Structure 1
Amino acid sequence: MDFGAHGGNKRVFQRLGGGGGPSTADTKQKVCYHWRAGKCNRHPCPFLHRELPPPPPAAVNGAATKRFSGGSTWGRVGNNNNSSSNHRVIRKTDKVCSYWIQGNCVYGDKCKFLHCWSLGDGFRLLTQLEGHQTVVSGIALPSGSDKLYTGSKDETVRVWDCASGQCMGVINLGGEVGCMINEGPWIFVGIPNVVKAWNTQTNTDLSLTGPVGHVYALAVAYSTLLANILGLLVVGPIGYGTAIIFERAMCLQYLRGHVLPKIMCCFCTDGAILAWKFNAATNGFEPAASLKGHNFAVVSLVVGANRLYSGSMDNSIRVWNLENLQCIQTLTEHTSVVMSLLCWEQFLLSCSLDQTIKVWVATESGNLEVTYTHKEEHGVLTLCGMPDSESKPVLLSSCNDNSVRFYDLPSFSERGKIFAKKEIRSIQLGPGGLFFTGDGTGQVKVWQWCKEPTATS
């Protein structure tokens, strides 16, 4: 895939420094009011563009280094080679300059706000895909296809050519896309009162009726018997650890063209969870069950270890047995909407608008308990797990301050950020170190993990 050939943004790692504005020797002058607000456009300005003199170096170096804590290895930052001199780097506001976005910032490299879309090493922005008019609510990259599919609340699905980055077609659905996933060659799209299912290899086009209201989340599960025969752990399409990625890829390579999903689950506005089975005789999906339990809409789910996990606007997570589709546990530690769920190794990760990410682990009794809680400054919208260029597990956490944080697992040490004009609602893993983000403006960005630069003598 060669997205970089079409105008990729090369200013990925650039973080411009300095305080901004012309200086003055007269320390008795007043500090510019507009500069404090980040809006001064006078050049030169007769007032000061700086505050009081900075503290002596000793006071800066004496600042405490923030560390995370936890009862186990979760949140425990490992030893690093950063010396105290690293803390002397001038820290700018972690906010993208609104004037830079509009192309008219007059401060250039002296602006106190960021003139880039990311911070951190190890990944880069390749290109931006423009076309959607509003929130990108789903991104899919089906197996065996050279096309990328993006769904939006503008009631369309756009098809992009992976080689050129050009939009090859627009599918009008007549309803807002609430979610979209892919599994093998299949794409499932949730719109009000229906789920669309497309097979990109056979051109099969199915409509699954039954949902009431908006469809916010979808997942696919396979039969336990098939998984046991292959000797592999098969998990859902939301996220997984590095080891599971390769196991799942091997399994799907065998499955492709041989079997179809056993169960496809849909989460609706009324709190019901609908499940379908694929019927090979009729070449279609038939209703399998309706799972009741949540009091309000279900907005997230993930499948792992023969369990289905559902997060809801009622602030709870329910654990369902995929064999009998019965609820076996209800988790109530979150205090707001459970926005996203993720399976990583033997852990379940959940995030919420209560500004926390919780890590769950099974006890000897088989029930899940919280083993670590990571606190954010903003509500958390989406979780996505993926390996970096060195196959180390990284957690991407999208927050409602229009940013995505990168964390190493299991330490939860932060390693970078990416920014957007509006909230990033969709994150999708791709092949060859690619990953995709879709935000509230309708913009889709293509990123790639890359080898970190090595020091040269």
Structure 2
Amino acid sequence: MDKHRRDDSPSGLSDIVEHDGLLGTGLTSRQLEAFGRKVSSTAGHLIGPTNDGHPAHYHNAMADIHRELRRPNTQRKVFSLTQTTPTDLVRSKLSTSEIQSRALSSVPDDLLANIPDDSSSYSLFEGFQASQDDIEFRKAHRRRASKSKKLLKDGQAALPSGPDDLKKERDLLSRRMDLMGVRKNMCSSEIHDIDNKIANLHNMRKIVLDRLAGLETEEADLEHELTEVENKLEDIKEEAPETPNGVATPKSSDVDSTVPEDPAMDASFMSESIYQKIPSPKNLKQKSKRKRSMPVLHEHFTPGSLIKEMEAHSDIVTAIDFDYPFGTMISAALDDTVRVWDLNSGRCTGFLEGHNASVRCLQVEDNIVASGSMDASVKLWDLSRARTVPRSNRINRQEEAEDAADDASQTSHSTTLEDCYVYSLDAHVGEVTALHFRNDTLVSGSADKTLRQWDLVKGRCVQTLDVLWAAAQASTLQGDSSWRPSGRMPDASADFVGALQCFDAALACGTADGMVRLWDLRSGQVHRSLVGHTGPVTCLQFDDVHLVTGSMDRSIRIWDLRMGSIYDAYAYEKPVTDMMFDSKRIVAATGENVVKVYDKGDGNHWDCGAGVGIDDQGSAPATVEKVRLKDGFLVEGRKDGIVGAWTC
């Protein structure tokens, strides 16, 4: 206690300083005094005059500073320094790349708060070390194995391993087992990280898909408004025609009615009633406008995904077609109705009324629709004539109620299709079962066993092709029976003309005898007959190289048009009622509740539709009757009147 007792006397303080140093720094008072004397002498030497009378260094330095401060450039630099903030001073000490690097390396607090927990119990360095040690173990094992092989090759027997060697081997193997556990844990944690990233990417993909769907809906609305404005401009130009000099031509009603006219010379009543009052389908096709941009939303869905399902009709769907994905669809059924649908909203926009019986076939191209009915007529419609009217002006209250049930959020305006009717082609004496039009030519097939070629410019039949006569001529010239008796048909109620397609002067037609005939419309003769089907042909489609046909004989055949032979064939369990293909896939309705899909690229067959994955015990969907495919967008119609849209 006496040794550590505090002594406040001056002698006691000096003893502490001598013993422990000043404030524990180890410096004594003598050292401090010596340091003070040295500083004083140095300052006196710098400031005071020297022995030879020359000014001191301090005075020389101050004179140089004053001389430098009198320069304008130095004064500007000093003034600029006084105006510089501390932040600018720090920036002046760092380069631009250094500042950018520090800014990029800064992580916001919200990101730091959402860092996922690492599922691995080992660090990356431990995983790397385990991998490297395992590589070294493998090299050592290979060296020992090669050494043993060399001894055996030289005829020397391998010496038995002693206990120490075996213990070393055991320790090495145990160490390698531990390292394997580390590597396995690292792989498992990496898989968990990848799964989390995949889940996050799926969520991001869903968000972007919703954004794309909104953009395409907005794009469709803008295009509809643009089309309406262009139609109004065309109507204004038609109402006020101008001469080349810019002067409006007077109408016939503006001419003085007092001018006498010769009734014998006036034949306007004939031209107006026959030609002028009937719009030309060609002119309508010229006015129809193609879509400026195609939807791409369905291309990013998983193949086989349901897009929309609509209760379109109350009876079997007999014909469907659409112009482009998420565009306009036309459907017909045995309930004697033809409906127009907006595939984007899944809503019926109106009816095409005019046929006296059910429609069996139809085709939509741009805004023009051709429909063939059991009343033996083919009618043409122009959807661009559809106009929007207030709902209060609609006459059919039942239609209004159906539309309101389909979409409760419907706007206060609806669409009427009363003005869409254009023309009626009446020449067949039996129901029209197949038709196809391209450019100015339309070909229709009927139960009256004839094919008729129509000129859409003049609106009349220009050629009639008798299938039975062509079969008889082929039998006479070639000496073979080109027409099979009706008793050999699997289905006697099948359509005589099941399907047809035309392209310029080429026409392909499939009939109830299982024959596929290739016609030349210029000569009206059969150019080639494709024999292979044993049942009525129900559908066909061709391109530049191949022709694909479906038949009631439960098969689809692919023909090589260059050779006239079968290229490939596919068999199904039930008859093929409809088929269509695009650049990637072939889809077929084969009497089941799914659509059979064949992928041309990889050759895989798979099912698409509401019946996929449905057990036999549950309520199965109805059988698919009709299919249409364009750009990976599949539409199928069923026996219960439901129409579904799928990605394919």
TM-score between the two structures when normalised by the length of structure 1: 0.56
Displacement of 1:430 after TM fit?
Answer: 4.8
Contact 1:143 1:185 in 2 (8 A): no
1:152 maps to 2:152: no
Candidates 429, 449, 463, aligned match of 1:271? 449
Corresponding residue of 2:304 = 123
- Where relative contact order (Cα < 8 A, 6+ residues apart) is larger, the structure is 1
Candidates 291, 312, 336, aligned match of 2:465? 291
Corresponding residue of 1:368 = 564
2:351 aligned partner, one-letter code: V
Q: In 2, Cα distance between the equivalents of 1:147 and 1:141?
A: 6
Q: In 1, Cα distance between the equivalents of 2:600 and 2:578?
A: 16
Q: Which region of structure 1 is more displaced relative to structure 2, 406-415 or 369-378?
A: 406-415
1:394 aligned partner, one-letter code: R
Corresponding residue of 1:446 = 645
2:331 aligned partner, one-letter code: T
Distance 1:168 1:362, change over 3 A: closer
Corresponding residue of 1:218 = 435
1:178 aligned partner, one-letter code: R
1:422 aligned partner, one-letter code: A
Corresponding residue of 1:315 = 514
Displacement of 1:333 after TM fit?
Answer: 1.3
Aligned residue runs from structure 1 range 344-355, under 5 A: 344-355=543-554
Corresponding residue of 2:592 = 401
1:347 aligned partner, one-letter code: H
More helix by share: 2
Q: Which region of structure 1 is more displaced relative to structure 2, 130-139 or 295-304?
A: 295-304
* 1:16-71 Cα shifts (integer Å, max 9, x gaps): xxxxxxxxxxxxxxxxxxxxxxxxxxxxxxxxxxxxxxxxxxxxxxxxxxxxxxxx
2:560 aligned partner, one-letter code: V
Displacement of 1:434 after TM fit?
Answer: 2.7
1:159 aligned partner, one-letter code: V
Candidates 574, 594, 611, aligned match of 1:378? 574
Contact 1:318 1:331 in 2 (8 A): yes
Corresponding residue of 2:625 = 425
Contact 1:384 1:428 in 2 (8 A): yes
* 1:319-369 Cα shifts (integer Å, max 9, x gaps): 111333321122221110111112144011111111111111134xxx511
Distance 1:410 1:303, change over 3 A: farther
Q: Which region of structure 1 is more displaced relative to structure 2, 405-414 or 336-345?
A: 405-414
Task: Give structure 1 stretches of 5+ with no counterpart.
Answer: 1-119, 222-260, 388-392, 450-457
Aligned residue runs from structure 1 range 161-310, under 5 A: 161-172=342-353, 173-192=355-374, 193-202=376-385, 203=420, 205-221=422-438, 261-279=439-457, 284-294=458-468, 297-304=496-503, 306-310=505-509
Contact 2:304 2:608 in 1 (8 A): no
Displacement of 1:125 after TM fit?
Answer: 0.6
Distance 1:196 1:369, change over 3 A: same
1:133 maps to 2:350: no
Contact 1:318 1:329 in 2 (8 A): yes
Contact 2:363 2:369 in 1 (8 A): yes
Q: In 1, Cα distance between the equivalents of 2:508 and 2:516?
A: 7
Task: Give structure 2 stretches of 5+ with no counterpart.
Answer: 1-300, 386-419, 469-482, 484-494, 612-620
Distance 1:121 1:447, change over 3 A: same
* 1:109-134 Cα shifts (integer Å, max 9, x gaps): xxxxxxxxxxx952311221113111
Q: Which region of structure 1 is more displaced relative to structure 2, 268-277 or 304-313?
A: 304-313
Distance 1:143 1:201, change over 3 A: farther
1:338 maps to 2:504: no
1:149 aligned partner, one-letter code: I
Counting matched residue pairs gives 278
Q: In 2, Cα distance between the equivalents of 1:415 and 1:147?
A: 27
Contact 1:438 1:445 in 2 (8 A): yes
* 1:405-426 Cα shifts (integer Å, max 9, x gaps): 1111166421333246333222
Corresponding residue of 2:4 = none
2:629 aligned partner, one-letter code: L
For the pair shown, which has the larger CA radius of gyration, 1 or 2?
2
Contact 1:359 1:370 in 2 (8 A): yes
Aligned residue runs from structure 1 range 70-149, under 5 A: 122-142=303-323, 147-149=328-330
Q: CA RMSD in A?
A: 2.6
Contact 1:143 1:183 in 2 (8 A): no
Contact 2:309 2:645 in 1 (8 A): yes
